[in-house]
Amino acid sequence: MRVIIAGGGTGGHIVPALAVARTLLERGHDVSFLGTEAGLESKMVPAAGFRFQPIRAQPFIRKASVATLRAPVVAVTAIRECRPHVRAADVVLGMGGYVSVPVVLAARREHVRAVLHEQNAVPGLANRALARLAGVVAVSFREAARVFPRRVRTVVTGNPVREQILRVPEERDALAKEGRRDLDLDEGRRTVVVFGGSQGALHVDRAAVGACRLLADRADVQIVLITGPAHLDVIRRAIPGGAAEGSIRVGGGNGILVRLIGFLDRMELAYACADLVVARAGATTVAELTVCSLPALLIPYPFATAEHQEANGLALQRAGGAIVMLDGQLSAASLADRIASLIDDQDRLQAMSEHSGRFGRPDAAERLADVVLSTGQGGGR
């Protein structure tokens, strides 16, 4: 079967798209991508070994401008560009975001069936607009299904994650040993991993620095702080002793151990070492934490569209796998207090871990591939 996947702009769309693409490829199907040259997909997709065809697509613009006036022309041109590519497909998978809009509309014109995938608990504008044109909408959170009209068929598949992350539950001990070596960590300490996404989150980083100062005498704790490349030097200078390379002992020889990292390509190593994760609540982060059965303190990005990160975090909190702290509540003191109370309560961490694992869907790529293939064979609307 010939499958075209449309999506991009951010890693949140591309990472699950690549995960399901690999599953479809392993089953013997032909997979190619449509996306923009300006988005991350133009680099990530070819690097993963898939065919990539650039198209013109434009983000939704909510204010008056020259670009707003040109938007209908750009949209019509993009649909026209997509039609020859879509015409040869058996099914189209739209991963949400503006990139998927012209591709799904072109599929409609060419009478090619389409599937949409929604990563967040609050569906994005593109998927809400396209839902009635799709044979089925696959969702990662049950909460998202309630937003679509009743006549739209929805199915919960979960959010596909990278194969490396899926290895963590079965290979945790070996990966943790490798992680402690590569990340310069102590075996006997409890490990808190803090990150704000691929670009980092300066507010979270600064609160973490302050929390490290307040927890300076904790000889039993170590913190892996992944700052994002742009923030590494600023945060290093803010930590006492941070001018040195490698691990930093904030409280002296018997104090808390802090490992600063600008970017970690192998997040599976950090996850395997973690007793607790402090992070934003993006869809990919929630999916990865839950397939790894990790307890989390989630701090949703406050400016996420329609507060979808808060909805993501609250869904996991209701399931018992996380605690949500709003960005406005975040401070050095509040973060230090939450970290200490959780890391000192092993029974609670264990319960959160179990709930997190039950929430996770490690078979999400397989489930989504099933939906795509079923729809392509005529199983959709």
* pLDDT number for residue 173: 98
What top-level class would CATH report for the domain 164-359?
alpha beta
CATH H-level superfamily of 2-160+362-379: Glycogen Phosphorylase B; (3.40.50.2000)
* pLDDT number for residue 64: 45
Q: Which residue has the tokens 């796998």?
A: 321
* pLDDT number for residue 9: 78
Three-state DSSP class for residue 271: helix
Residues 85, 53: contact at Cβ < 8 Å? yes
Q: How does DSSP assign 124-137, residue by residue?
A: -HHHHHHGGGSSEE
> Number of C-alpha atoms within 13 angstroms, CB side, residue 149?
10
Which residue ranges in the chain fall short of pLDDT 50?
64-70, 245, 380-381
Which residues make beta-bridge pairs with 115? Answer: 93, 136
Angle, CA of 169, 175 and 178, to the nearest 5° = 170
- Average pLDDT of the chain is 91
- Where do the CATH 3.40.50.2000 domains begin and end in the chain? 2-160+362-379, 164-359
